[in-house]
């Protein structure tokens, strides 16, 4: 008996280190083999007399199903893709995303927004009549202060409920008839005036265009 340089016995078979296949691998190999046998047998069916072909196909399928149940079942249809989320309502232009309240004088409407997305409205308004002393100013403003039970001393103590001022010259959102022009303020319906009063805080941007 010869001994090799590494101390091993010359001529001895190498040790096999591979592990035996797992049970899932065995099952997969069996099903693959059954599938191959099924397909091979079905490919030979056209060689039979025509009157025996359908019976042969059914017999091959039945035998395959007995050996490997479910092998011939069609693959399940993929789950339908989830419906896309609805697009958020587009923000009317040109009111900037930074504004908390927007007023469209030409369209006689106003709305509130959060992060550039409309959160309330648009609702109908009436703005000031054309003229140097009555026209509603356009531009970017800030809420200055709020008075729930306000009156206008300039106009014979006319009521201005839920007033939200955005200038120091008397311009404000307040409850009023949205079908009647104002003297420079923004007239809102009762519900809209309450919502604006509760939602807007001093420092919030008001953009009027």
Cα separation, 28 vs 202, in Å, equals: 71
The catalytically annotated residue of 171, 185, 187, 190 is 185
Pseudo-torsion of CA 64, 67, 73, 79, nearest 10°?
-150
What is the gyration radius of the CA atoms in the chain, in angstroms?
41
174 noted as active-site residue: yes
| Residue 136 CB coordination number (10 Å) | 21
Only one residue has tokens 């691998």, namely: 25
- Which one is catalytic: 102, 174, 187, 190? 174
Give me 1's structure tokens: 């008996």
C-alpha–C-alpha distance, residues 171 and 151, integer Å: 13
Task: Give dist(CA 116, CA 137) in Å, integer.
Answer: 22
Q: Is the peptide bond before 122 cis (omega within 30 degrees of 0)?
A: yes
- In a 3-state reduction of DSSP, which class is residue 117? strand
Of the candidates 170, 181, 164, the residue with the CA atom closest to the CA atom of residue 124: 181
Give the C-alpha separation, 96 to 83, whole Å.
Answer: 31
Residues serving a catalytic function are 174, 185
């Amino acid at each position: 008996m010869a001994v090799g340089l590494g101390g091993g016995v010359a001529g001895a078979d190498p040790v096999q280190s591979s592990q035996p296949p797992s049970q899932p691998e065995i099952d997969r190999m069996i099903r693959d083999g059954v599938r191959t046998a099924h397909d091979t047998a079905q490919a030979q069916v056209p060689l039979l007399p025509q009157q025996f072909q359908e019976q042969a196909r059914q017999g091959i399928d039945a035998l395959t199903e007995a050996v490997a149940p479910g092998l011939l079942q069609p693959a399940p249809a993929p789950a339908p893709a989830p419906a896309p989320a609805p697009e958020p309502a587009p923000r009317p232009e040109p009111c900037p995303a930074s504004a908390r309240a927007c007023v469209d004088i030409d369209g006689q409407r106003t709305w509130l927004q959060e992060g550039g997305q409309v959160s309330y409205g648009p609702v109908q308004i009436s703005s000031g009549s054309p003229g140097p002393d009555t026209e509603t100013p356009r531009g970017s403003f800030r809420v200055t202060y709020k008075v729930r039970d306000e009156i206008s001393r300039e106009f014979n103590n006319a009521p201005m409920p839920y007033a939200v001022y955005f200038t120091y010259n008397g311009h404000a959102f307040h409850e009023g008839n949205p079908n009647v022009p104002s003297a420079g303020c923004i007239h809102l319906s009762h519900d809209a005036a309450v919502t604006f009063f509760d939602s807007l805080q001093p420092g919030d941007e008001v953009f009027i265009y």
